[in-house]
Amino acid sequence: MNAIGETVQRLRRAKGLTQGQLANQLGVSSAAVSKWETGGALPDVALLCPLARALGCSADELLGFRPELSGEEIDAVCKTPRALFDGGDWRGALEFCRQRLREYPGDLNLRFRLGFLLAGFADKTRDEAAREELRTAAAGLFEQAVELPDEEQRRAAWRMLARLYADKGQFDRALEALGNLPSCNQEGLGLRADILRRMGDLNGAARLEEATLSAQLAALDHTLTSFAATRRAQGLREEAERLEQQARRLKELFGAPAAPAGCCCECEGEASE
């Protein structure tokens, strides 16, 4: 029995229809329905929509088509290209990914995951031609993955796209990609400074890194001071003093930090950024 046959049989029985009753609705013989269900034949293309209506399902369901894979299914897909790449067959790994993408052209989560996979392969290989082709393929996937509905995934896709553009020497495109991240995104700021340095704009990179360091120090000082106050309120005097000492040491090393800037509303609470 093929997948379509199994679906026809399952849905026919769920609706309480005999093979003869379904055949009468479609204007075919009972033998034809029997052949569909046992895998001896497939329904004619012209019958797919009427058959789906008779069974109360969509044509996609009848054909077993799903536009997206589950997370577990994507995990399983990723195992094969990893094994191929680890075995030295990067072309086979890339072609396998392309085949799966052709099967699920609208699955942005699959593109997101395979983009990371191919970018990782590019970082590992010593073959310059392989590295270039893998980076190009990964960039193409992230160019689509930036349309994902999940905000965290979109930002991760923009960061990866910027890094891949920079690795390919496309610095203007890399900076343009970073423009889609919130201005206070720390990983994005670090990547922007790296791109400016690679472009030869050392002063611009230094200014950005200085501002980033100042913001991070201010945030750390604020956290240490607040944590010390909490510990003191809990009656943990020694631990509070240790935290206060760390805050003082921070000031000795870097000077008094500026007041911490408030995070933009777009990324407040981003624990993973």
Mean pLDDT of the 91-119 span: 96
CA distances from 149 to 3, 112, 120, 153, 195 (A): 32, 12, 24, 8, 28
How many CB atoms neighbour CB 21 within 10 A?
A: 15
- The whole-number pLDDT of residue 212 equals 87
Q: Which residue has the higher pLDDT, 85 or 60?
A: 85
pLDDT tens digits for range 129-187: 999 999 999 999 999 999 999 999 999 999 999 999 999 999 999 999 999 988 767 78
Q: What percent of the chain has pLDDT over 70?
A: 93
- The whole-number pLDDT of residue 22 equals 95
What value does the mean pLDDT of the chain take?
90
CA distance 161 to 191: 11
Phi, psi of 28 (to 5 degrees): -125, 175
pLDDT tens digits for range 214-229: 888 999 999 999 999 9
Q: What percent of the chain has pLDDT over 90?
A: 76
In which band, very low, low, confident or very high, does the pLDDT at 9 lie, cut at 50, 70 and 90?
very high
CA distance 195 to 169: 9
Residue type, 224: L
pTM of the model: 0.70
Q: Is the pLDDT of residue 8 over 70?
A: yes
Mean pLDDT of the 240-244 span: 96
- The whole-number pLDDT of residue 269 equals 44
In which band, very low, low, confident or very high, does the pLDDT at 270 lie, cut at 50, 70 and 90?
very low
Mean pLDDT of the 54-70 span: 86
CB 41 within 8 A of CB 35: yes
CA distance 213 to 187: 12
CA distance 226 to 223: 5
Q: Is the pLDDT of residue 268 over 60?
A: no
CA-based nearest residue to 36, from 25, 16, 28, 14: 28
Q: Is the pLDDT of residue 198 over 70?
A: yes
pLDDT tens digits for range 17-50: 999 999 999 999 999 999 999 989 999 999 999 9
Mean pLDDT of the 220-249 span: 95
In which band, very low, low, confident or very high, does the pLDDT at 262 lie, cut at 50, 70 and 90?
low
